[in-house]
């Protein structure tokens, strides 16, 4: 009998025991395929790729322990109750028992996902690390049209919009935004919260259409979990800055679709209220115990009275809202530029972001993306208003320094402010300096919008405008950047080289190379003369060649020799490698060659664009 003989019907071993196909998993759990997908999405169970697929490559495999994990979850019983409830409603409607159908519809079985959030994310940092897809999904559904009869419920869209605005209000209040970029897909943001970099994508403010190519049932399953996760994250973040959650919004601003502005006002009022409460607590510490006891009894009475009626509670919250929120006077936008008591606790990066637009006042025209600019300008310490009702100040305000417009002509132009395109705000944020507005004026083609998520030094190609921004940053910080190819030489020579044109610098480099070749030839002739070699025979052989041709042939020989030497060293090095190391080395060389080809293509395109632009100027 073989050593590893296993009789039929005995326990399986290896991959056959570790993994199970999707069909067998569905039959084991005794649920439908749609419920199985929803369970896997909510619990975070995903397919696996075993090394040896026992039942074929065309099937989807899951880990056996994951399926056992799903089988013992209480959520599966809730889904079965929901299925039975729908069957009862359908049966009551079929029997025309309308009263029973209404009673069943008013009492559907419900479930909560609070336990799953704690189960999947034991610590708060774990939740922050996995927040990228959550924010992107919530912002995507927040931009969908809220129309009855569509595949997405209106209350889900409103909830996503509320959660996204709460997140943006926190980022603006704490000045945690670091990078922005406008792409074809939407606007990319990157924030830093508790040491974790969080990146998400917001779609453009355009009319969204629901296509049939997307399975909305799967996306709604993801959204159901993401809504719960983002609600918990917002709750934790708001309490970390001493602000109550959920926030109470001004109904007038909420009706005018200014939820983000209303949220920021609430957060500013909440932080001031917490400071006032702490001061009052210090005063109360000096009072006697009798007064404290009376205060405790009164508080207990107030709690009992508030718990007696929901209507009284709503009226009390509305009264608190009117008392807490400041009036909408001009210049009171978000109160985000006020000096905070926790300024010393902020790091250098936060302080730099907080003071970028500190002394600037912006006004947004109606054609620019209002929500995005409200979010960005407030996150970097600026004061901003917009065209429409509910705005903190009007267009005629004399303190406005910049007006963001995207139309070639304006009905009225104020000479005391600058009119710039929206890209100027995004480029200033990425550069962390106030860029000159000459290239962003209305009617002009703005400079290229560079992505802050690309490392130009690692890619090997630095765009021309990136070098310009680097020089401006050095000028702001009072630094002197060394020019490429020049070491620690005299400052006058560096300034002269910086004033030279690119063609002139190339000509100077060519002349320098020829002088070095002539100097080397002179030293070789002196060496031959010392060795006693007859110079006449050498001159007769090379007399028919011009000096330029001699230099070219000599340089070609040196290049060929250096290439041959590199090739020999490369062959010797690869011969000593193992097969795996040789394969990795070849892959690295191929990657470097592809990067080099990409850089050459970018340079060629840049040269073509410059030539076409110069030809247009001539004509």
Q: Could you please report the per-residue DSSP string of 83-126?
A: HHHHHHHHHHHHTT-HHHHHHHHHS------HHHHHHH-SSHHH
pLDDT class of 603 with cuts at 50, 70, 90: confident
375 pLDDT exceeds 80? Answer: yes
pLDDT digits (tens, 9 = 90+) for 345-355: 567 888 888 88
Q: Are strands 383-386 and 361-364 parallel, antiparallel or unpaired?
A: parallel
Largest distance between two CA atoms of the chain = 122
The pLDDT value recorded for residue 41 is: 94
**Span of 374-378, 391-395, 448-452, 614-618 with lowest mean pLDDT:** 614-618
Phi, psi angles (nearest 5°) of residue 52: -120, 110
Would you say residue 337 has pLDDT above 60? no
Is 183's pLDDT higher than 60? yes
- The answer, yes or no, to whether residue 585 has pLDDT greater than 90, is no
CA distance to 130, 200, 242, per residue, from 170 (Å): 18, 15, 12
Do residues 214 and 144 make contact, with C-beta atoms less than 8 angstroms apart?
Answer: no
Statement: residue 343 has pLDDT above 60: no
Q: Is the pLDDT of residue 306 over 50?
A: no
Average pLDDT over residues 311-339: 38
Q: Is the pLDDT of residue 563 over 70?
A: yes
Pairing of strands 196-202, 187-193: antiparallel
pLDDT of residue 132: 94
Domain positions in the chain are 15-106, 114-272, 356-448
- Least confident range of 252-256, 506-510, 528-532: 252-256
Higher-pLDDT residue of 236, 618: 236
The pLDDT assigned to 427 comes to: 92
Confidence check: pLDDT of 613 > 80 = no
Q: What is the pTM of this model?
A: 0.70
Q: What is the CATH number of domain 356-448?
A: 3.40.50.10190
Tell me what the pLDDT averaged over the chain comes to.
77
Q: What is the DSSP string of 155-210?
A: HHHHHHHHHHHHHHHHHHHHT-EEEEEE-SS-EEEEEEETTEEEEEEE--SS----
Helix (H/G/I), strand (E/B), else coil: 316: helix
**pLDDT given at position 201:** 94
pLDDT at 479 over 50: yes
Q: Which of 35-44, 172-181, 332-341, 597-606 has the lowest mean pLDDT?
A: 332-341
Task: Quote the CA–CA distance of 562 and 111 in Å, as a whole number.
Answer: 73
Bridge partners (DSSP) of residue 566 are none
> Residue 21 in contact with residue 28, Cβ under 8 Å?
no
The pLDDT assigned to 297 comes to 45
Strands 61-63 and 402-404: unpaired
* CB-based contact 325:266 (threshold 8 Å): yes
CB-CB contact of 55 with 21 (8 Å):
yes
pLDDT band, residue 555 (cuts 50/70/90): low
**Percent of residues, the chain, with pLDDT higher than 70:** 72
- Of residues 515 and 133, more confidently modeled: 133
């Amino acid at each position: 009998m073989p050593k590893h003989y296993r009789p039929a019907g005995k326990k399986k071993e290896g991959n056959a025991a570790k993994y199970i196909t999707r069909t067998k998993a569905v039959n084991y759990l005794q649920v439908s395929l749609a419920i199985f997908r929803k369970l896997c999405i909510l619990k975070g169970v995903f397919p696996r790729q075993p090394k040896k697929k026992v039942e074929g490559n065309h099937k989807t495999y899951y880990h056996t322990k994951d399926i056992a994990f799903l089988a013992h979850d209480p959520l599966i019983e809730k889904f079965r109750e929901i299925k039975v409830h729908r069957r009862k409603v359908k049966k009551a409607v079929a029997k025309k028992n309308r009263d029973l159908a209404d009673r069943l519809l008013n009492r559907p079985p419900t479930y909560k996902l609070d336990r799953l959030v704690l189960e999947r994310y034991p610590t708060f940092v774990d939740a922050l690390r996995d927040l990228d897809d959550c924010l992107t999904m919530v912002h995507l559904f927040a931009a969908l049209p809220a129309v009855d009869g569509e595949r997405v419920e209106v209350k889900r869209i409103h909830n996503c919009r509320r959660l996204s605005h709460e997140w943006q209000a926190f980022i603006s209040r704490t000045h945690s935004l670091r990078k922005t970029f406008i792409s074809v897909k939407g606007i990319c943001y990157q924030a830093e919260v508790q040491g974790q970099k969080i990146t998400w994508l917001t779609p453009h403010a355009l009319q969204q259409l629901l296509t049939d190519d997307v399975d909305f049932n799967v996306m709604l399953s993801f959204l159901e979990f993401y809504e719960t996760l983002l609600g918990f994250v917002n709750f934790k973040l708001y309490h970390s800055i001493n602000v109550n959650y959920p926030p109470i919004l001004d109904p007038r601003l909420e009706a005018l679709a200014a939820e983000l502005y209303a949220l920021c006002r609430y957060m500013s009022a909440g932080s001031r209220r917490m400071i006032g409460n702490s001061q009052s607590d210090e005063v109360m510490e000096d009072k006697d115990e009798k007064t404290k006891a009376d205060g405790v009894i009164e508080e207990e009475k107030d709690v009992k009275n508030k718990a007696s009626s929901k209507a009284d509670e709503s009226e009390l919250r509305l009264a608190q809202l009117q008392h807490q929120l400041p009036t909408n006077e001009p210049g009171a936008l978000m109160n985000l530029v006020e000096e905070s008591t926790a300024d010393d606790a902020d790091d250098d990066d936060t302080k730099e972001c907080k003071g970028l637009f500190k002394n600037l006042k912006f006004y947004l025209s109606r054609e620019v993306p209002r929500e995005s600019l409200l979010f960005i300008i407030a996150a970097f310490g600026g004061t901003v208003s917009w065209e429409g009702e509910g705005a903190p100040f009007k267009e005629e305000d004399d303190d406005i320094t910049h007006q963001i417009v995207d139309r070639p002509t304006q009905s009225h132009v104020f000479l005391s402010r600058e009119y710039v395109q929206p890209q100027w705000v995004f480029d200033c944020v990425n550069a962390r300096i106030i860029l000159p507005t000459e290239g962003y004026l209305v009617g002009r083609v703005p400079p290229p919008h560079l992505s802050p998520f690309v490392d130009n030094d690692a890619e090997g190609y630095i765009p021309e405008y990136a070098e310009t921004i680097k020089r401006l940053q050095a000028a702001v910080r009072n630094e002197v950047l060394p020019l490429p190819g020049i070491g620690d030489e005299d400052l006058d020579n560096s300034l002269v080289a910086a004033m030279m044109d690119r063609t002139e610098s190339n000509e100077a480099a060519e002349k320098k190379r020829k002088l070095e070749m002539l100097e080397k030839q002179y030293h070789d002739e002196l060496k031959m003369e010392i060795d006693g070699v007859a110079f006449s025979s050498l001159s007769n052989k090379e007399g028919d060649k011009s000096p330029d041709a001699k230099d070219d042939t000599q340089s070609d020989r040196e290049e060929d020799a250096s290439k041959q030497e590199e090739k020999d060293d490369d062959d010797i090095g690869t011969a000593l490698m193992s097969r795996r190391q040789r394969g990795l080395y070849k892959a690295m060389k191929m990657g470097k060659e592809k990067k080099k080809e990409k850089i050459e293509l970018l340079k060629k395109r840049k040269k073509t664009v410059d030539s076409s632009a110069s030809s247009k100027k001539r004509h």
